[in-house]
C-alpha cells in the first residue's frame, strides 16, 4: 500500500506540473494574444511570459501586429465617360487594437476587400478615362483616407493603398497604342524638322562667317594696296622733288659759274643766238627774232665780210 500511495503521489505531482506548465504562455515579439475568461473578453497579452487560470482562461486568438499586405483580385469599375475597366489593388494595413480586430467584424480581410471595391468604384466613377490613367497618386490617397476611417472601429490602420494594374478594354488599348504610335511619329517628325532647321541655321551662320572673313580679308587687302600706292606716290614725289632740286642746284651752279666767269655782252648775245637756234631746230615755220639778236646778226655778218676781204 505504501508503494501504491507513493506512486499515486508522484502521478499527481506530475499532473500538477503539466497543468502549471500549460498555464504558462510566452507571447513572441510583434504578436498579441486575446484572452477570454469563461467566454468573455478578459485582457490582451503583449510580448513576454504570462500565466492563465486553468480551465477558466483561454487564448481566444493570436494576432500579429506586423504590417500586412493583401493583394485583391481585379475589380470591374466604370469611369465617368462610361468606359469599363478592371483594376486590382494592394492594401497595406496593420492591426493596432487586437480586441477590436477580434470582436469588431466577422471577417476583417473580406470586409477590407469589399470596402476597397466600393470605394474604388465611387472614386473612379467621378473620373474620366484619361484622368484615371494619369491620377494614380490621387486615387491612392483618397482610397487610403477613406479606408483608414472605415477600418478604425475594427482596430485596423490602413497605411497605404496602391493601384497595381489598370486594365482597360481591348478596343481602348488598341486605340491608345495607335495614339501613342501617332504621337511618336509626330515627335519624330518634329525632331527631324528641328534638326534640319538647326542644320540650315548652322550652314547660314557658317556662310555668314565666311562672307565676313572674306570681307575682312578684302578690306585688309584694300588697305594694304592703298598703303602700297600711298608709299609709291610718296616715293615718286620724293624722287621728283629730288630731281627738281638737282636741276635747280645745277642751274644755280651754272649761274654761279657764269657769274664767276664775268662774260661780256657779246658772248651773252652769241649764247642766246645758239640757244635760239636750238629752240628752232629747223621745225618752226615762223621765227620772231628779238632786236638785240638782229643787231648781233648784222655784226656777225660784217665781221665775216671783213674777214673775206682780207
Q: Evaluate whether residue 112 is within a structural domain.
A: yes
- pLDDT given for residue 302 in this prediction: 47
CA distance linking residue 37 with residue 226, whole number of Å: 121
With both helix axes pointing from N to C terminus, report the angle between 136-151 and 108-124 in degrees, rounded to the nearest 10.
Answer: 140
Evaluate whether residue 94 is within a structural domain: yes
Retrieve residue 26's grid coordinates: 510566452
96 in Cβ contact with 127 (< 8 Å): no
Radius of gyration of the CA atoms of the chain, in A: 66
| Residues 67/146, Cβ–Cβ less than 8 Å | no
pLDDT value at position 287?
A: 54
Residue 180: predicted pLDDT: 81
φ/ψ of 237, rounded to 5, equals -60, -40
For 63, half-sphere exposure in the C-beta direction (CA atoms, 13 angstrom radius) is: 23
Q: Could you tell me if 153 and 239 lie in one domain?
A: no
Total of domains in the chain? 4
pLDDT confidence of residue 307: 44
**CA within 13 Å, CB half, 43:** 7
Please write the tens of the pLDDT for every residue from 259-289. 666 655 655 666 665 655 555 555 555 555 5
Tens-place pLDDT, residues 26-76: 899 999 999 999 888 999 999 888 888 888 888 889 999 999 999 988 888
| pLDDT at residue 206 greater than cutoff 70 | yes
Assign 92 a pLDDT band (cuts: 50, 70, 90). very high
Q: Given pLDDT bands bounded at 50, 70 and 90, which one contains residue 14?
A: confident
* Number of residues written out for the chain: 310
8 inside domain: no
Q: To the nearest whole percent, how much of the chain has pLDDT over 90?
A: 21
pLDDT in tens, 219-244: 888 888 888 888 888 888 888 888 88
Which residue among 168, 185, 205 closes a domain?
168
Residue 2 counted as domain residue: no
| Cα atoms found within 13 Å of the Cα of residue 187, Cβ hemisphere only | 6
**Would residue 158 count as lying in a domain?**
yes
pLDDT of residue 304: 41
The DSSP call for residue 255 is: H
Which residue segment(s) compose the domain that 129 sits in?
68-168
Residue with the bigger pLDDT between 300 and 263: it is 263
**299 shares a domain with 212:** no
Are 36 and 60 within one domain?
yes
Q: What is the pLDDT of residue 65?
A: 92
- List 31's β-bridge partners, or say none: 64
**Cα atoms in the Cβ-side hemisphere of radius 13 Å centred on 273:** 15
Are residue 72 and residue 162 in the same domain, yes or no? yes
Mean pLDDT of all residues in the chain?
A: 81
Task: Note if the pTM is more than 0.75.
Answer: no
| β partners of residue 93 | 68, 158
Q: Taking residues 160-178, report their average pLDDT.
A: 83
Residue 308 has pLDDT above 80, yes or no: no
Q: Integer distance in angstroms from the first to the last C-alpha of the chain? A: 222
Beta pairing partners, 51: 24
- Report whether 144 contacts 123 (CB < 8 A): no
CA–CA separation, 69 and 141 (whole Å): 17
In angstroms, the CA 162 to CA 159 distance is 10
Q: Which of 214-218, 247-251, 269-273 has the lowest mean pLDDT?
A: 269-273
Range scoring the smallest mean pLDDT among 1-15, 71-85, 135-149: 1-15
For position 110, which CATH number holds? 3.30.479.30
Amino acid at each position: 500500500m505504501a508503494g501504491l500511495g507513493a506512486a499515486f503521489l508522484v502521478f499527481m505531482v506530475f499532473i500538477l506540473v503539466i497543468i502549471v506548465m500549460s498555464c504558462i504562455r510566452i507571447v513572441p515579439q510583434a504578436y498579441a494574444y486575446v484572452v477570454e475568461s469563461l467566454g468573455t473578453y478578459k485582457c490582451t497579452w503583449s510580448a513576454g511570459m504570462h500565466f492563465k487560470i486553468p480551465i477558466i482562461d483561454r487564448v481566444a486568438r493570436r494576432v500579429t501586429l506586423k504590417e500586412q499586405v493583401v493583394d485583391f483580385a481585379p475589380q470591374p469599375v466604370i469611369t465617368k465617360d462610361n468606359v469599363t475597366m478592371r483594376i486590382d489593388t494592394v492594401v497595406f494595413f496593420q492591426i493596432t487594437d487586437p480586441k477590436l480586430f477580434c470582436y469588431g467584424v466577422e471577417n476583417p480581410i473580406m470586409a477590407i476587400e469589399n470596402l476597397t471595391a466600393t470605394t474604388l468604384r465611387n472614386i473612379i466613377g467621378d473620373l474620366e478615362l484619361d484622368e484615371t490613367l494619369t491620377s494614380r497618386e490621387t486615387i491612392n490617397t483618397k482610397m487610403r483616407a477613406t479606408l483608414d476611417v472605415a477600418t478604425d472601429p475594427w482596430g485596423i490602420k490602413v497605411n497605404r493603398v496602391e493601384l497595381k494594374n489598370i486594365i482597360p478594354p481591348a478596343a481602348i488599348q488598341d486605340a491608345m497604342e495607335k495614339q501613342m504610335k501617332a504621337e511618336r511619329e509626330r515627335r519624330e517628325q518634329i525632331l527631324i524638322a528641328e534638326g534640319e532647321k538647326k542644320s540650315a541655321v548652322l550652314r547660314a551662320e557658317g556662310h555668314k562667317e565666311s562672307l565676313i572673313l572674306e570681307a575682312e580679308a578684302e578690306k585688309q587687302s584694300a588697305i594694304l594696296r592703298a598703303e602700297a600706292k600711298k608709299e609709291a606716290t610718296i616715293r615718286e614725289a620724293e624722287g621728283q622733288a629730288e630731281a627738281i632740286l638737282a636741276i635747280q642746284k645745277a642751274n644755280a651752279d651754272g649761274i654761279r659759274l657764269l657769274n664767276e666767269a664775268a662774260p661780256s655782252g657779246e658772248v651773252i648775245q652769241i649764247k642766246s643766238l645758239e640757244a635760239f637756234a636750238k629752240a628752232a631746230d629747223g621745225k618752226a615755220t615762223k621765227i620772231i627774232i628779238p632786236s638785240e639778236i638782229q643787231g648781233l646778226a648784222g655784226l656777225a655778218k660784217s665781221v665775216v665780210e671783213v674777214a673775206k676781204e682780207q
